[in-house]
Amino acid sequence: MREAKKTMQKLENIIVNDISTTGSKAREFAWELYKAKDSMKSIALFDAAASLHKNKDAEKSALTGMSECVSKMHSVCKDLPGVEDNKKRLVREHVINVMRDIHNDMEKVTTGDEKVKCRKLVQVLGLISQTEDEAGKRDKAEKTFRSAEARLKKTFVNEAEYQKVYSEILNKLNN
């Protein structure tokens, strides 16, 4: 596992340090790795892509790109092709930590539109909650969901808009 982590860090460094690489390109390549049944490398590359979005994109683009990386990570975790069942839980737990790191990075992105930022952050919290639930961590999933709900209540004063976003999260959580 330590060797794999070193390899993934090298791959991430190459991609992040290449001036011409964009978050979108890295995300596309990560998806190709996933389709080729290389889940572990794709997860590392989605993490690198999120870093690229954070460092190279404008505010709203960064939030969108980073949330898309978390969404793709969640997709990878859903079935983890080629990974034995006993390893899936460990992978999911690692990915949950990576997703949380991306969420924390998203919190630091400054944007003039707090509602857009809130929607993206809540989407990511919803995905983290789903991944936690799929990893058998129901209590953590519920706590994460409640955190998303609190964020919505704080940001959306308009009750109709809050209900729309809240229902989207509930719907995703139940699927």
Helix (H, G, I), strand (E, B), or coil: what is residue 150?
helix
C-beta of residue 17 within 8 angstroms of C-beta of residue 53: no
| Per-residue confidence band for 103, with pLDDT thresholds at 50, 70 and 90 | very high
Asked whether 105 and 54 are in contact (CB, 8 A), the reply is yes
User: What proportion of the chain, given as a percentage, has pLDDT over 70?
Assistant: 77
Q: What are the Cα distances from residue 9, in Å, to 6, 24, 103, 162?
A: 5, 19, 20, 39
Question: Amino acid identity of 47?
Answer: D
Of the candidate ranges 4-8, 104-108, 126-130, 136-140, the one whose mean pLDDT is the lowest: 4-8
Q: What is the pTM of this model?
A: 0.79
- Separation CA 60–CA 52 (nearest Å): 14
Rounded mean pLDDT of 29-36? 83
Contact yes or no for 128/147 (Cβ under 8 A): no
What is the reported pLDDT for 116? 85
Which 3 state secondary structure label does DSSP give 1? coil
Distances (CA, A) of 114 to 63, 66, 118: 11, 16, 6
Cα 110 to chain centroid distance, Å, stands at 18
pLDDT at res. 32: 84
Distance CA 146, CA 126 (A): 10
Lowest mean pLDDT among 80-94, 106-120, 147-161: 80-94
Highest averaged pLDDT of the listed ranges 58-62, 91-95, 106-110: 106-110
| Whole-number average pLDDT of the chain | 80
- pLDDT, one tens digit per residue, over 117-163 is 888 999 999 999 988 888 888 899 999 988 988 888 888 776 666 67
Q: H helices of the chain, where?
A: 2-17, 23-35, 39-56, 59-79, 85-108, 114-134, 138-155, 159-174
